[in-house]
Amino acid sequence: MKKVFIITVLCSVVSMGLFAQNDSISAQPTKDKYTFGDFFDALDLPTVLGVGVTPNGIEGATFNSAMRLGWRHHKNYGTFVYITYDTHSNTYKDMDLQFAGSNFRNAEIWYNEVGMSVGYRFPLVKDIKAFYENPYFHPWDFFISMQPGVSIATVKNATPLDDHAFEMTNIDHVVPTLRFSAGVEWFIFSNFAVFAEAAYTQHLMPTLIEQAAINKGDIKHPSGPINISVGLSLFFN
């Protein structure tokens, strides 16, 4: 009888200890720490190809390509940030660029553009309120963004060395830009998506070609190109 009593007491003590341990575990607050791995998983590498036109007609149409490095708060909804590098060339005709040090009136101008974009992705779902209360993976989203940056324009100048030789030099000119974009993205797989995007870039100061057109009286103020692009987004995870 004494042994039964001792065993009963021990079992009670062990049970109380287990319940106390479970209570202490359940009472501990869960902490969601944002680690470097989380940051790395949120990165993507979009590759973009597109065409661009200048509405004021002072430059020819162009093909453009861009590389981006992006970070997303959530993969297919919410805020995102990316750094972009875009390069393309345009042709121009009958433009006097002597003020910039170039003696080419009909030639090609190269643009190298760098910027940082901030935007937001909206999930394309039936019940958006229910989605934000309990998010889930979905294939389609709509996004908008704004991108401050700089555009570096490069034109050529030819200096005669003798009757048969010329020295070619580059002339660079930098202007600030502001780019507005909107598009649709489709996730084919959880780590791979395709998207289509329309964008307008406003030059905050005249480029070399725009300044030459202003001097001629062809335009009154700087504007910028319109681009239609398609791209691929590849995620690390």
Are the C-beta atoms of residues 233 and 189 closer than 8 Å to each other?
A: no
pLDDT at residue 22 greater than cutoff 70: no
Q: pLDDT digits over 70-120, tens only?
A: 999 988 899 999 999 999 999 999 999 999 889 999 999 999 999 999 999
Whole-prediction pTM: 0.80
Rounded CA-CA distance 146/118 in Å is 6
Looking at 24-33, 44-53, 122-131, 214-223, which range is the least confident one?
24-33
pLDDT of res. 32: 61
pLDDT of res. 40: 76
pLDDT at residue 11 greater than cutoff 60: no
pLDDT of res. 23: 40
Residue 218: name the closest of 67, 55, 6, 11 by CA.
55
